Structure 1
Amino acid sequence: MFHSSILVIQTYLDVGMLIYLIKNKQNALFLSGVYTRYKTFLNKDKVILKRVIKGVQTKRPVEVQNVMLRRYFLELTQSFMIPLERHMASLMPLQRNISPHKAPPRLRPFDPEEFLKTVEHSGPQLTSGIKGDWEGLYKRFFPSPNFVGWYRHREHEVNQKLQVLHMEALSNVDVQDWIRDKEEVEIVDLILRLREKLTFAANNQSAVNKDCVVKLHRHVDTIICSLPDDLQGVLKT
């Protein structure tokens, strides 16, 4: 998910205003350029500027100019976000390391310094021709609410995915073999854990495979039936 506003573009000018300034530059002598109090991290993109000016000269509709600029800024933002998405993927545990006999793993914490070490060789320059201080732009981005919102959303998505993978691992175990040498207290604990998984599945139906849920229900029934009658009565209520 890309938060396309204010990630890369720190100052937004409506195309209509830009066109007005270009058309009326002789009447606006006090304006020799566009000024902002923000620090510039990326070099000027003369190509897009020439395209905008040409559009003014050829009387291209403002709506078309707007679409062109929006697409340009979207692609620039995507180039900025792709390295972050790639780094987030590297923080996710490998699926083969997800064990049904252990608690589900979680996403490793994001370390800004660790990420910045990757920018030189696998940063936005791989997908964008714009040069500049990309590392400085990331440093400016990390303390911002936009990064916090993006990171929390991605962290939630990844941890949810890990929960689903852990459920699938649990659903595929031989539960009778698993509980064969277990004490009753361990078996009851397993039932409670499986029920927690089923509650998670009920709250995230779109993310969980229905076959997986059916298998987990069968596991719970199988385990309960292996217990003494008095304990079965307690667990079935």
Structure 2
Amino acid sequence: MNPTLTRTWSAILFDLDGTITDSAPAITSSLARTFATLGRPVPPAAELLAYVGPPLLAAFREYAGMTPAEADEALKVYRTDYQGPASLDTAVYPGVAGLLERIHQAGIPLALATSKPETNAIKILEHFELAQYFTVMVGASEDETRSAKADIVAEALVRLRAAGADVSSPVMVGDRGYDAEGAAANGVPAILVEWGYGSPAEATAATAVVHSSDQLARLLLG
């Protein structure tokens, strides 16, 4: 991985949780209430962090050992709890809002590509007045038929093309190995940020890893 990578990107895709926003407090609180509502032991806070990023249906199965039916029920309970004010218990990482504005001003198309339900993701970006910088905003579908990161990245590229954007040289910005792997499945390089929820072991599929918004800006804008 080369942290001094420089390139002219035709479009930039951004993850949301752990990349633009520090949403772990809202997500883990809702998850804790979900486990309690289901009558299950509430995992420690450190374990709940693992749920932030990957599709929740898969996370419930992998981390909590739920059956597909149990995971479906858990997702319904979680989404009911997470609606409204609970989802806004979050903050934009320092320097990120300014970077998104600079990318927009530079005329580079921006796409959101998140595993969070699309409607929730859009509400959060609108709340922080960041939606204005994005050409398209893509998240998981309500029925979870589109939840894998590879499918979300693919849909973001489709919508960018439909909007007239040049997607000949896109790049994905995220914080988890899921982001890099989903991007790679579409032939897209990935830059991972260290301020999110991933671990160093997840960065193996990334083209570069950055530790600050200034360093990310240099890779994206030169």
Category of TM-score, reference length = shorter chain: under 0.3
Which is richer in strand? 2
Query: 1 or 2 for the larger relative contact order (CA 8 Å, sep ≥6)?
Result: 2
Q: Structure 1 length as normaliser, TM-score?
A: 0.24
Question: Looking at CA atoms only, which structure, 1 or 2, has the larger radius of gyration?
Answer: 1
Q: Structure 2 length as normaliser, TM-score?
A: 0.25
